[in-house]
Amino acid sequence: MQFKTIFKALGMITGILSIILLIPTCYAFISETSDFMAFLVSFAISFFISTVLVFIPKSKSNLKARDSYALVTFGWIAAGFVGCLPYYFSGCIPSFTDAYFESISGFTTTGASILTDIESMPPAILLWRSATQWLGGMGIIVFALAVIPHLNIGGMSIFQAEVPGPTAEKLTPRIQDTAKVLWFVYLIFTVILVILLWISGMTLFEAINHSFTTMSTGGFSTSNSSVAGFHSPLIEWIITLFMIIAGVNFALHYRFLFQGWKIGEYTRDSELRFYLLVIVISITTIAAIIWIREGGNIATLIRDTSFTVASILTTTGFGTADYELWPVYGQFILMFLMIMGGCAGSTAGGIKSIRFMLVLKYMYVETLKMIHPNLIRTVKIQDSVVERNVLANILGFIYLYTAVMIVSVLLVSIETNDMITALGSVIASLGNIGPGFGTVGPTENYAHLGSFTKWILSMDMVMGRLEILTFLVLFLPHTWKK
Amino acid sequence: MKIVIAGAGEVGFHLIENLSKNNLNIITIDTNKKVLTKLSQNYGVTTDHANIIDSQYLTTNYLDDADLFLAITNSDETNMIACKLAAEAGVKRTICRIRQIDLKSDYKGFSLKSLGIDWVINPVLLVADEIVRLILTPNIVDTHEFLNGEILLTGYRMTEHSRFIGKSIRELEGDGKEDLFQIAVIQRNNISHIPQKNDIIKYGDIVYFIYQKKDFTFLRKHLGYVQISAKSKKVIINGGGNIGLRVAEQLEKANQKVKIIEKDLSRSYRIAETLQKALVLNFDGTDLKKLHSEDIEKTDYFISVTDSESQNLTSCLLASKQGVERTICLVQQPELLQIIDQNTPISLAISPRILTARYLVQFIQGTNISSYFSMLNSQIEILEIHLDNRAKCVGCRLNEINLPENVMIGIVKRGNSYLIPKGSTHLERGDVILVILHRFDRSEALGFFINR
């Protein structure tokens, strides 16, 4: 382990976050709210720690893969600590566990909250809460790569460890440029969304907050009843659209925007087609079943199911309808969507569409082999072959995801006496969704859970965001051997 | 006409065998002395023992006044370099045999011309395309292009669907469509002849038609072949080499149900990566038990194109024993072709060398003959001839010149239009005609068309 380099890099990440903390600090100063001092103290503490760490000399040898994993994992856990300081010092969230839970839920774009009355919070705190999601959405380390010149640490393996999906795609020859490009695309979409929401009736403050949390598929809102609080079908449709956009591989957006506006970039992508197909099937079947059973206004029904399906599949977690009142079919579909998640290379969480698609194809091949015992067939995506080790990796990942889920449910059920809640909260945390089932459903929050449970869920969120392996590798003795 | 052939391998040998009867000036270059001796003894061609890509050699010998240069050694790279050098030395036309590299298409800023290559010949593609054609258009036995591909010569096998059976040529000419095609050759029991007015078409005949490419569909319909090949066929290909893979790819594109058998595991993966829908199966193509589990008895076509001749023969015989009606077998030795055609249940044998040689023959041109085609296993030739004003027949009506009985004019190209000649048709200067003739009548017939 190259501890010196890791600590130095952690110092840089803390430093960046502390500088970003200055934005809500200024906002608090201008809006003259009581939390100004809290932000200032948080900034001072994190900036001090970062300065100390940055002065650690670099190790002589380069970072190895395991060092990258350690750096990324510790980077995220450290970000959670920096992020919780304002909540804690301002007294908005008196318990440190709760403050950390809220902070890591922000950075991992989960959107699970322990706040019961969001609207009573000072605006600067709300802005910081949304900003953590926006930063976490595209990745803190990728952000660090993009903004710090000559950050010669890790390179591709760091990028790989943080960008979701089975294989990270380098869009440009230099990894730093790729990071910049991704952040730039992300920024463009966020700005467009801010403008759209602003002219559709939100205040600028609300528009910025909701754009941050929509593009990052986070799900924090500034109103107690989430997006439903705006009572505007237009806003709901805009957010539905942008949630779906945020759930698409950003490499596709990049190629579309910067390589000639060819719609073929999207239509050719089989993962995207699969993802959209899942969305369409989910919306139509759920809406149809609700309509047959209960009737009601079709327009509202379609809008609510579209919004909810998009919100859950992209692991955003905004709410307009209480899906716990839906027929069980709808709830099961949503549970499946929570586990599946959006596309690789997007800001969404979950197992990712491409892995599901590949496993389906793999299952088809295996079934075909029952009829033709000597069959040789490779799994392909858009005519390119998926190597067998990638497939094994994906199968292993899905198995691990399930294993982590089971162990977490066991641990959570020590304090929670409700099966649905235990399962729902773990699925929602691991998939970075936010609202789960049972007592953590779309109309409730996580405040009532025990503190041990909250720590378990916090770690689930980090594991879900970093796709488990990056995190779990730290528990291998091999990682720590000299 | 002076032809330089680089490489006296199997293709070269077969080609020279075909060409030697035609009174051409052929020079063969190879590094193998034994083969050269055999060639010069048997066919009387000039031979030279040398390495063709020795640039010194190419620039100083023969090449400056050669009409055609054929690079058909076993090495693609050697052939390409040889063509470039030959073109530099001033050869009029070069043909390059390329087996591994896909050079059919011109890339951006790159053309075959820049390599000095006028024409690429790829035996793998020839064989594969021939097999695919046989499957997709089963009644078509053979097809050939003339006049830059505008005119087709197609041999149709007369099956029960054909409207032509039992009719004489005279009857067929009287049904109003006679301006669109010409019956050039009838092949019955492996003997070909140029038809006379009273000949009657029988079941099982192979009838060769000459017609314009645009009339392909019309002719098919006219013959009565309309509904056929709508249903996709079940095809098993034994051998996943370059030929097998190419055939599988083409058939897959045409929505046929393809299974391809390959013995080698890593090659199986390689072809599985290339193919989309076709089933790639990894076992030995002579393993009857496994063939049974793949429903061989319900297969329409069994094609064996492995590298091993005996493997091909065995598996094709096995397949026909299991009830596969149509089996196609790849053989290397040309001699096997005739044995297979007559004495075994294997429906067709294909030899890449013969195909290649036959394909190459069409490039060998005389002064006024721009294309030449000799039908397989027969004495019939088809020549594409330019009429200039010195030709005896110019200005005459066809029934005025006393052409020998076995000589026939298939089609006349005048300007940009084509006409099927009748007795009253005038021949004019500048016409291009397709002449179908018996080899014995060759020199007599050419006397009418070419001024020597």
Q: Does A364 touch chain B (CB under 8 A)?
A: no
B278 CB neighbours in chain A (<8 A) are none
pLDDT in tens, B238-258: 998 889 999 999 899 888 899
pLDDT value at position A431? 92
Do A380 and B273 lie within an 8 Å CB cutoff?
Answer: yes
- Asked if residue B296 lies in contact with residue B230, where contact means CB atoms within 8 angstroms, the answer is no
Do A375 and B279 lie within an 8 Å CB cutoff?
Answer: yes
Q: Given A372, A378, A383, which is nearest B279 (Cβ)?
A: A372
B234 CB neighbours in chain A (<8 A) are none
Q: What percent of chain B has pLDDT over 70?
A: 88
- Asked if residue A6 lies in contact with residue A67, where contact means CB atoms within 8 angstroms, the answer is yes
**pLDDT averaged over 10-residue windows placed end to end, chain A, 482 residues:** 83 90 90 84 92 83 79 90 92 91 93 89 91 90 73 67 73 79 92 95 93 93 88 94 94 88 87 94 94 88 94 91 90 93 90 91 92 89 84 91 95 91 94 90 89 94 89 85 70
Give SS3 for B367. Answer: coil
DSSP-assigned states of every residue in A94-149:
-SHHHHHHHHHHHHTT------S-GGGS-HHHHHHHHHHHHHHHH-HHHHHHHHST
Minimal CA separation from A370 to chain B, in Å: 12
Mutate to test the interface with A, among B237, B268, B284, B299 (most CBs of A within 10 A): B268
- Give the list of residues 6+ apart from residue B432 with CB closer than 8 angstroms, or none: B147, B370, B384, B385, B386, B387, B412, B413
Minimal CA separation from A381 to chain B, in Å: 11
Q: Given B272, B290, B293, which is nearest A376 (Cβ)?
A: B272
B283 CB neighbours in chain A (<8 A) are 374
B282 CB neighbours in chain A (<8 A) are 374-376
ipTM computed for the complex: 0.73
Do A378 and B294 lie within an 8 Å CB cutoff?
Answer: no
B279 CB neighbours in chain A (<8 A) are 368, 372, 375, 377
What is the chain A residue with the closest CA to B277? A377
Mutate to test the interface with A, among B245, B262, B282 (most CBs of A within 10 A): B282
Query: All domains of chain B, ordered by start, with CATH?
Result: 2-121 (3.40.50.720), 138-223 (3.30.70.1450), 234-356 (3.40.50.720), 365-449 (3.30.70.1450)
B271 CB neighbours in chain A (<8 A) are 376
- Give the list of residues 6+ apart from residue B21 with CB closer than 8 angstroms, or none: none
- CA B258 to CA A388: how far, in whole Å? 24
Nearest to A69 by CA among A479, A482, A481: A479
Could you give the strand order of the β-sheet that contains B191-193, starting from the edge strand earlier in sequence? B140-146, B151-157, B206-212, B181-188, B191-193
Q: Given B268, B273, B282, which is nearest A385 (Cβ)?
A: B273
* B312 band by pLDDT with thresholds 50, 70 and 90: very high
Indicate if the pLDDT at residue B283 is higher than 50.
Answer: yes
Do A376 and B290 lie within an 8 Å CB cutoff?
Answer: no
Q: Given B265, B273, B280, which is nearest A375 (Cβ)?
A: B280
Handedness of CA B176, B180, B184, B189 (dihedral sign): negative
What is the chain B residue with the closest CA to A372? B294
Of A344-348, B153-157, B206-210, B334-338, the poorest mean pLDDT is in B334-338
Mean pLDDT for the stretch of residues B385-389: 80
For the purposes of burial, counting CB atoms within 10 Å of the CB of A290, is it exposed (0-12), middle (13-18) or buried (19 or more)? buried
Residues from B in contact with A at Cβ < 8 Å: 262, 265, 268-269, 271-273, 276, 279-283, 290, 293-294
What is the chain A residue with the closest CA to B283? A374
Minimal CA separation from A365 to chain B, in Å: 11
Do B265 and A376 lie within an 8 Å CB cutoff?
Answer: yes
pLDDT value at position A276? 95
Distances (CA, A) of A223 to A88, A118, A327, B444: 21, 6, 27, 102
Q: Does A367 touch chain B (CB under 8 A)?
A: no
> What single letter denotes the amino acid at residue A257?
L
Which tokens in the block code for residue A289? 């079943």
Mean pLDDT for the stretch of residues B148-158: 81
- CA A417 to CA A435: how far, in whole Å? 18
- Give the list of residues 6+ apart from residue A5 with CB closer than 8 angstroms, or none: A58, A59, A63, A67, A153
Nearest to B165 by CA among B125, B103, B119, B207: B207
B262 CB neighbours in chain A (<8 A) are 376
What is the chain B residue with the closest CA to A386? B273
Nearest to A154 by CA among A40, A45, A262, A68: A68
Nearest to B72 by CA among B353, B446, B322: B353
Minimal CA separation from B244 to chain A, in Å: 15
Do B272 and A372 lie within an 8 Å CB cutoff?
Answer: no
* B109 band by pLDDT with thresholds 50, 70 and 90: low
Minimal CA separation from A264 to chain B, in Å: 21
Minimal CA separation from A166 to chain B, in Å: 20
Minimal CA separation from B111 to chain A, in Å: 27
Mean pLDDT for the stretch of residues B347-374: 69
- Asked if residue B391 lies in contact with residue B445, where contact means CB atoms within 8 angstroms, the answer is no
Indicate if the pLDDT at residue B212 is higher than 90.
Answer: no
- Asked if residue A119 lies in contact with residue A223, where contact means CB atoms within 8 angstroms, the answer is yes
Provide φ and ψ at B416, rounded to 5°.
-105, 5
Q: Does A370 touch chain B (CB under 8 A)?
A: no
Match 């948080």 to its residue by tokens.
A42
Do B268 and A376 lie within an 8 Å CB cutoff?
Answer: yes
The DSSP letter of residue A476 is S
For the purposes of burial, counting CB atoms within 10 Å of the CB of A170, is it exposed (0-12), middle (13-18) or buried (19 or more)? middle
Q: Given A372, A383, A385, which is nearest B281 (Cβ)?
A: A372
Q: Does A376 touch chain B (CB under 8 A)?
A: yes
Residue A384: CB atoms within 10 A of its CB come to 9
- CA B438 to CA B375: how far, in whole Å? 10
Mean pLDDT for the stretch of residues B405-427: 83
pLDDT value at position B367? 47
Minimal CA separation from B49 to chain A, in Å: 48
pLDDT in tens, B137-147: 777 777 777 77
pLDDT in tens, B290-310: 888 888 888 989 999 998 889
Mutate to test the interface with A, among B279, B291, B293, B295 (most CBs of A within 10 A): B279
Do B272 and A377 lie within an 8 Å CB cutoff?
Answer: yes
B252 CB neighbours in chain A (<8 A) are none
Q: Does A385 touch chain B (CB under 8 A)?
A: yes
What is the chain A residue with the closest CA to B259? A375
B276 CB neighbours in chain A (<8 A) are 380, 383
Which tokens in the block code for residue B353? 């060398």
A372 CB neighbours in chain B (<8 A) are 279, 281, 293-294
A368 CB neighbours in chain B (<8 A) are 279
